[in-house]
Structure 1
Amino acid sequence: MNTKSTELLALYLPKPLNYKKLQLALGAEMQKRLEGTYYLRKDDFIVVFTQFNVLAMVNMPPPERIALLQALGIDAAEHDMKQMVYQDYNICFDPALTSPFTVSNEAITLQSASDLNMVIIAYVIAQSVALDVYEQKLADYSERSRTLIEDSDSYSLFKRTRLARFAKQLVLIRHDLLIDLYLLDKPNILWDNADAEALYNSLATALELSDRFEVVSYKLGSIKDDIIMVMDITNHKHSSFLEWIIIVLIAVEIGMGLIEWFKPAFLH
């Protein structure tokens, strides 16, 4: 069996990157193949950049990979790489394969290689990496929401501000997840290519993208509901606080009025 293999590394970039900056670092112009996705074949490797801010490198030697990341202003030291969100995936090539491809969680085997297949695989892995990022974000948000819920017994203006800021962050992350990332949107080019669509669907199913997306959406909705409940409680306490201020002010006004009323009697 004449089987060859290569590695795909998909890395979530720690800061937003414009593909034009990536072009400068690569020293060559990238092509747009899918919506919001640019790629470049250079020598024996392929670089793919997606709108998920994920950079995928196929068959790129580690020294060149490190040099590229450093050119992008990213510290690619081994201990820093471990702090980043990434996934690696094996791509195998077997001309004797009886079907165009086979897919598993760890690897995909292709009957023949093409740039479109490489870009589609990189695109799906990039979606998986982006979901990893949001899963980690929501784990952090879940802990923060629990702290806010536990502190909801007391009231302060600063806490009300924190809740409002946290609610805004939830809205923004939902916007990024559902609108900017298009995590479950299938690229339009796949509708005209049955083999490419089958490859995308099989790999997305193997990586459980749809199920993971539903879990992330559910967690996000649960956190949002919790924060809305806490905000309602806080707003009620705020209203009660204002009511008590008004009552105290009225009592003080009445007291001062009574003093003025009885003052002549005390003077005589």
Structure 2
Amino acid sequence: MVETEFKAIVLGNEMNLNKISQHFGSNRKLKWEEYLILKGSELQGIVRDFEEKRVYLFHFGSIVFLNFQHHEIMDVVNYLKNIEVGINDSNPFKYVDEYKIENNPDSEYAINNDYMVTEEQAEYQFDIVSTILAKSVALEKIEMEISRVLDEIEDVVNSLHKGELAVSDEKLAKLSASILEFKLSTISYIMLLDKPAITWNNEKAGELFNELATLFELADRYEKLRHKIDTLMDITEVFSGLAHAKRGTRLEWAVIILIGIEICLSLVTLFFNL
């Protein structure tokens, strides 16, 4: 029996794969939906034992390691950091997803939450599992960040209950930018609804992708995120309306005060002229 262990982490919102690819001697321009694979001689000099190991890198910031130990993962992350400064290595294991493939000719095919059993090992299995894990861990990062924004929104709502709008225009702008970034990440960057190219040419690869996508609930998680993002956008629009109304009220009072001052000055001038 041969086991292949997968560990996926996310190191940012975006990685320049073309820059990394050029460093390893490839001049082919990678499309946004493509990933970069490092294996064999490309890992030589980064990790001591590079056989049976490979690294999948995705544009949307996820990296999937096959058969790597913890210290080996850190070696790769530190190496890539010198190439792509956009990589955030401050807490690389904050978001992690793991999986395992067991290749056993004497066992029947099975797929579970943490591992799958296959009678015959195939290259497409590595590609599909890595893609699913990369999407899942990137989705987890967005889920946690949306929860953080929801907590911030809750504080503002609690202030509204007290009759106070304790949010500045700058904070409103930042909240709106974060929400739009979530929407852009889930749809454009991670491409949760898109299948990798291999699924169109390989029927088994397509079936495996569909099974794992269902197992990791990618579509359901995306829909929940979409509803949360829409709700957040509605809330920020309400806050913006209240903030504009508050500024309008202040402006009206300022105009009234100025008019009052002008009337008082006119009366004083008239009194002294008399």
What is the TM-score normalised by the length of structure 1? 0.84
Q: What displacement does 1:96 show?
A: 3.5
Does the C-alpha gap of structure 1 residues 47 and 28 become closer, same or farther in structure 2, counting only changes over 3 Å? farther
Given that 1:13 and 1:53 are in contact with CA atoms closer than 8 Å, whether structure 2 keeps it comes out as yes
Counterpart amino acid of 1:170? I
Q: What displacement does 1:225 show?
A: 1.3
In terms of mean alpha carbon deviation, does 146-155 or 48-57 score higher? 146-155
Q: What displacement does 1:40 show?
A: 3.0
Q: Which of 92, 108, 111 is residue 103 of structure 1 equivalent to? A: 111
Counterpart amino acid of 1:201? N
Partners of 1:213 and 1:97 lie apart in 2 by 34
- Correspondence 1:183 to 2:181: no
Given that 1:170 and 1:224 are in contact with CA atoms closer than 8 Å, whether structure 2 keeps it comes out as yes
Does the C-alpha gap of structure 1 residues 35 and 172 become closer, same or farther in structure 2, counting only changes over 3 Å? closer
Cα RMSD (Å): 2.7
Does the C-alpha gap of structure 1 residues 30 and 199 become closer, same or farther in structure 2, counting only changes over 3 Å? farther
Q: What displacement does 1:62 show?
A: 4.1
Query: Structure 1: which 5+ residue stretches go unaligned?
Result: none
Counterpart amino acid of 2:185? D
Partners of 1:21 and 1:260 lie apart in 2 by 75
- Correspondence 1:114 to 2:122: yes
For 2:99, the equivalent position in structure 1 comes to 89
Q: What displacement does 1:105 show?
A: 0.9
Counterpart amino acid of 1:206? L
In terms of mean alpha carbon deviation, does 124-133 or 213-222 score higher? 213-222
For 1:11, the equivalent position in structure 2 comes to 9
For 1:246, the equivalent position in structure 2 comes to 255
* Per-residue deviation, residues 165-201 of structure 1 (Å, max 9, x unmatched): 3212212221222222211211233123211100000
* Per-residue deviation, residues 121-140 of structure 1 (Å, max 9, x unmatched): 10001110011000100010
Partners of 2:96 and 2:132 lie apart in 1 by 13
3-state SS in 1 of match to 2:59: coil
For 2:245, the equivalent position in structure 1 comes to 236
In terms of mean alpha carbon deviation, does 116-125 or 89-98 score higher? 89-98
The percentage of counterpart residues that share the same residue type is 23
For 1:48, the equivalent position in structure 2 comes to 56
Given that 1:29 and 1:40 are in contact with CA atoms closer than 8 Å, whether structure 2 keeps it comes out as no
Given that 1:30 and 1:39 are in contact with CA atoms closer than 8 Å, whether structure 2 keeps it comes out as no
Matches within 5 A, 1:22-171: 22-23=20-21, 35-42=33-40, 43-73=51-81, 80-82=91-93, 84-98=94-108, 101-152=109-160, 153-154=163-164, 159-171=168-180
Q: What displacement does 1:114 show?
A: 2.5
Does the C-alpha gap of structure 1 residues 35 and 149 become closer, same or farther in structure 2, counting only changes over 3 Å? same
**Structure number with bigger Rg:** 1
Partners of 1:30 and 1:49 lie apart in 2 by 16
Q: What displacement does 1:250 show?
A: 1.0
Counterpart amino acid of 2:120? S
Partners of 1:161 and 1:113 lie apart in 2 by 54
3-state SS in 2 of match to 1:56: strand
Does the C-alpha gap of structure 1 residues 30 and 7 become closer, same or farther in structure 2, counting only changes over 3 Å? farther
Counterpart amino acid of 1:19? L
